[in-house]
Chains A and B, each alone.
Chain A
Amino acid sequence: MKILVPVKRVVDYNVKVRVKSDGSGIDLANVKMSMNPFDEVAIEEAVRLKEAGIATEVVAVSAGLANSQETLRTALALGADRAILIETDVELQPLAVAKLLKAVCEKESPQLVIPGKQAIDDDSNQTGQMLAALLGWPQATFASKLVVNADKTAAAVTREIDGGLETIEIALPAVMTTDLRLNEPRYATLPNIMKAKKKPLETTTPAALGVDVAPRLKTLKVAEPARRSGGVKVADVAELVEKLKNEAKVI
């Protein structure tokens, strides 16, 4: 069975982002970029399925600027067999990415697509679900455990839900989005980094896939959240409880 893993190039999770002073967005100039952490988990799961003899091929796909190639090379170094880059300089929103992935799925016919549950830049948490909907496939979001049935026609997925876990059985082909507890991604080995350079990486475009990727949401401004207003002293327990309930709204 073939597995498709969408990966996204995002600001490294260690970077403390800065809002541009003109409020037009986040200052991304010269900021360290990495693979979205949830996508690393997704690649890891796919590669483990291949190592276990369940999957036959792992295809990584990314959409965006040409430098998303670096992220695809990382995916290849982690064990993906080949990669597809959908190159565009249009700002891609989840619906557009889902449509692009649908077009790729129609060509590639994977049995399982494993996106990360969300990208740590826009925090949308939509693409996997949207892709499943567009394909009319079942979905299993926020997965913490995956067991593919022996005949590979279905899978049992344990999902992280509010208050605990639930296990669902889904028919394949399907989309499963990863949560962090699904696995612990490996480090790429040096020989695999070297080999990744030689693995096939195919480039296409939204136009070639016949997808309109025009954004549907307009970002009017980006602002920093309000700073901590430190040092307020309260007189007694009653005032503290009142502030926590009504001002901070944390209890």
Chain B
Amino acid sequence: MSEYVAPLRDIQFVLKELAGLDQVAQLPGYEDATVDLVDAVLDEAAKFAEGVLSPLNIPGDREGAKWSANGSANGDGPGVTMPAGFKEAYALFAESGWTALQSDPEWGGQGLPKLVGAAVTEMWKSANHAFSLCPLLTGGAAEALSLCGSDTLKKTFLEKMTSGVWTGTMNLTEPQAGSDLSAIRSRAEPQADGSFRIFGQKIFITYGDHDMAENIVHLVLARTPTAPEGVKGISMFVVPKFLVNADGSLGARNDAWCVSIEHKLGIHASPTAVMAFGDHGGAVGYLVGEENRGLEYMFIMMNAARFGVGLEGVAACERAYQRARDYARDRIQCVETGVRGGPRVPIIRHPDVRRMLMSMRAHAEATRALAYVVGAAHDVATRHPDTATRRRNQAFVDLMIPVVKGWSTEVGIQVASTGIQVHGGMGFIEETGAAQYLRDARISAIYEGTTGIQANDLIGRKMAREGGATLNALIEEMRALDADLGQASGEHFAAIHRRFAAGVEALAEAGRWIVDTYGVDVRAASAGATPFLMLLGIVAGGWQMARAALIAQAKIDAGDTDPFYQDKIVTARFFADHILSQADGLADCITFGAPGVMALDEDRF
């Protein structure tokens, strides 16, 4: 039996030692986020994740969200019924205040840092990926409203969304407009009272309908009649499932219906809705901010959402690792390698199984460390009193969001797949539970922008546009750490130093090539975009693991006997030899590989 146990020891280590919780708690407005309070929050979140969300993960997957033609609350139209237990779990989740963790205190939020939110979100996602999406989307929608919406809109919606009584969605995609949002066709017709009538169909709307909350606040991208073509003509509208009366009570049912849900590879408990707006006269919508700036607003929540999805990669690694580890300890097959005869042993004794488990563990720790460090930088970038410090941290966050999103989720898929491999044939059997992690993890590298979209964002907007300045600053920071590694003694540090030094130089070389090539041959640079994203992920992950190892060594030198620190050094060494060692190959693939990508004529495929 493998039940999810929140990895609090590593989470706390990363928060305190790598991400600088202490410094974050000194930022204006975050004074409450002291170490003991955060420990208490994490403890309770772990209890909730383990006790409420995790037990629903497998049943939710098997039962799935169900759509029916008369599935709405009063049977007057189509609607979605959640799997057994989700409604109650969500109610408890909201009552417990978890929806409000990072939200603005003005609307009833607790205003805790993103760093703390990251740790808690990871737990929700490890425990129950499908469930976690509802609060993730609600938080993103509320953030966009609070930053861009009018006071009236904020007053009407934010308190209820913060408390989780109402949930939120992001309505971007249309059948012809997936990754290319410039092709959006949904219409918004202005009305005499200042509102709009929305018409159009949206697809892939996560939690577009469900029975866990009394209202759903859709943020919908659509075009007004006077809007210009392309991305500059898209506006954002609030379209609530139920209209809200002046006194805050719920009014008429809006013309926004979930007309079906998708049958998916994974996250079966998360309803992915096809939404029809305005099929019965027009859905009432309210403009958010100014006309034609919708995409810009959407990107506010997109960045938060991309970071959140990146945590899904961390969460998948952790959950898959735990199950595989538990299985490998229990499963007895074959005698010890290199021993003739003798008893059969648990498979965790076999070197290849051990290699797989170490790889899973190292990836979980490295993706976590990187994501939390980026989360902390976000907090500094938004709250630090010094402008230059804010700007420097924002640049780092902007550079790394595509990496946290793209690299962590790709790694999550790989680790979930390795988890199945550890189980052997049993891993391929659904009942074992390992397969669900792979099915669920698969979407993370797709939604909120595929890995390719992240990689193009990375090399274009985040690197080429500024001549690689932020990347170069990061590389300098890495080189400084490498100097420290060179001073550390012992075989493990020698190995980490060797691989990290090579990795940083590979990154520098490939980064230079990308920046130089982007202006002259953007197609060649783009052919190397995803390998570059993976390269940056690996080296940045190795950077954090190396930092962790040095901190662990300092603790050991100071007399701390916690075996956690010894384990951390070994895991960092594994990461260096087995994962960082791929950096050279990736760099070659970027700098030499474009011709092989682009040379074949299209009709030769």
Direct contact between the two chains A and B in their complex (CB within 8 A): yes
Chain A interfacial positions (CB closer than 8 Å to B): 14, 29-30, 32, 34, 70, 73-74, 77, 187-194, 196-197
A193 partner, pick from B8, B37, B563, beta carbons under 8 A? B37
Cβ 8 A contact of A194, one of B9, B92, B98, B110: B110
Contact of B37 among A34, A187, A194 (CB under 8 A): A194
Contact of B101 among A77, A190, A192 (CB under 8 A): A190
Residues of B within 8 A of A34 (CB): 43
Q: Is the CB of A190 within 8 A of B562?
A: no
- Determine if A187 and B36 form an interchain contact, defined as CB atoms under 8 angstroms apart: no
**Chain B 86-108 near chain A by CB (<8 Å), digits 1 or 0:** 00000010011110110000000
Is B44 in the interface zone, CB < 8 Å from A?
yes
Q: List 10 A-B contacts (CB under 8 A).
A: A34-B43, A70-B36, A70-B40, A188-B44, A190-B41, A191-B97, A191-B100, A193-B40, A193-B41, A197-B34
Are A32's CB and B47's CB within 8 A? no
Shortest distance in angstroms between B517's beta carbon and chain A's nearest beta carbon?
49
Point out the residues of chain A lying under 8 angstroms from B44, CB to CB: 74, 77, 187-188, 190, 193
Residues of B within 8 A of A30 (CB): 9, 562-564
Docked CA distance A74–B43 (Å): 9
Taken together as a complex, chains A and B put the C-alpha atoms of A192 and B95 apart, in Å, by 11
The number of chain B residues with a CB under 8 A from chain A is 28
**8 closest Cβ pairs, A-B complex:** A190-B97, A189-B96, A189-B97, A188-B44, A30-B562, A191-B97, A193-B40, A187-B96
B52, CB-defined interface residue at 8 Å = yes
Please name all residues of chain A whose beta carbon is closer than 8 Å to the beta carbon of B52 when the two chains form the complex. 187
Residue of A nearest to B97 (CB): A190
- Output the residue of B37, B43, B47, B110 with the most chain A CB within 10 A: B43
For residue B48, which residues in chain A have a CB less than 8 angstroms away from its CB? 187
Chain B residues near A193 (CB-CB < 8 A): 37, 40-41, 44
CB nearest to B564 among chain A residues: A30
B98 and A190: CB pair below 8 A?
yes
A221 to B52 alpha-carbon distance, docked (Å): 39
B561 within 8 A of A: yes
CA distance A35 to B41 in the complex (A): 15
Contact of A197 among B5, B8, B37, B97 (CB under 8 A): B37
Chain B residues closer than 8 Å to A189, beta-carbon distance: 95-97
Provide the B25-58 mask, 1 if CB < 8 A to any CB of A, else 0.
0000000101011011101100110011000000
Q: A29-B561, A187-B51, A190-B110 are in contact. Are A73 and B97 (CB under 8 A)?
A: no
B66-124 contacts to A, CB under 8 A, are: 92, 95-98, 100-101, 110
Determine which of B41, B47, B110, B563 lies in contact with A187 in the assembled complex, contact meaning CB atoms within 8 Å.
B47
Q: Tell me the bound Cα distance from A73 to B34 in angstroms.
A: 14
B6-21 interface (Cβ within 8 A of A): 8-9
Distance in Å: Cβ of B95 to nearest Cβ of chain A: 7
Chain B: CB-nearest residue to A192: B97
User: What chain B residues lie within 8 Å of A191 (beta carbons)?
Assistant: 97, 100, 110
Instruction: Give 19 A-B pairs besides A77-B40, A188-B96, A193-B44 with Cβ atoms closer than 8 angstroms.
Output: A30-B9, A30-B562, A30-B564, A32-B8, A70-B36, A74-B40, A187-B47, A187-B48, A188-B44, A189-B97, A190-B44, A190-B96, A190-B98, A190-B100, A190-B101, A191-B97, A191-B110, A193-B41, A197-B40
In this complex, the member of A14, A32, A193 whose beta carbon has the largest number of chain B beta carbons within 10 angstroms is A193
Residue of A nearest to B32 (CB): A194
Least CB distance from B553 to A in Å reads 17
Closest to A198 in B: B32
What 0/1 readout, one digit per residue, does chain B (560-598) give for beta carbons within 8 Å of chain A? 011110000000000000000000000000000000000
Nearest CB to that of A30 among chain B residues?
B562
CA distance A35 to B5 in the complex (A): 17
**Set of chain A residues within 8 Å of B564, measured between Cβ atoms:** 30
Q: Which of B5, B39, B100 contacts A70 (CB 8 A)?
A: B39
Residues of A contacting B47 with CB < 8 Å? Answer: 187
Residues on B with beta carbons closer than 8 Å to the beta carbon of A187: 44, 47-48, 51-52, 92, 96
A90 to B101, CA, bound (A): 39
Smallest CB separation, A62 vs chain B (Å)? 15
- Given A30-B563, A187-B48, A187-B52, A14:B5 Cβ within 8 A: yes
B562 / chain A contacts, CB cutoff of 8 Å: 29-30
Alpha-carbon gap, A126 to B44, bound state (A): 29
Within 8 A of A (CB), among B531-562: 561-562
Nearest Cβ distance between residue B4 and chain A, in whole angstroms? 11
Q: How far is the CB of B25 from chain A (nearest CB, A)?
A: 13
Residue of B nearest to A191 (CB): B97
Residues in A with CB closer than 8 Å to B9 are 30, 32
A64 to B306, CA, bound (A): 45
Residue with the highest number of chain B CB atoms closer than 10 Å, among A73, A190, A191, A192? A190
Q: How far apart are the CA atoms of A190 and B92 in the complex, in Å?
A: 12
Which residue of chain A is the closest to B95 with respect to CB atoms? A189
Q: Which residues of B lie under 8 Å from residue A70 when comparing CB positions? A: 36, 39-40
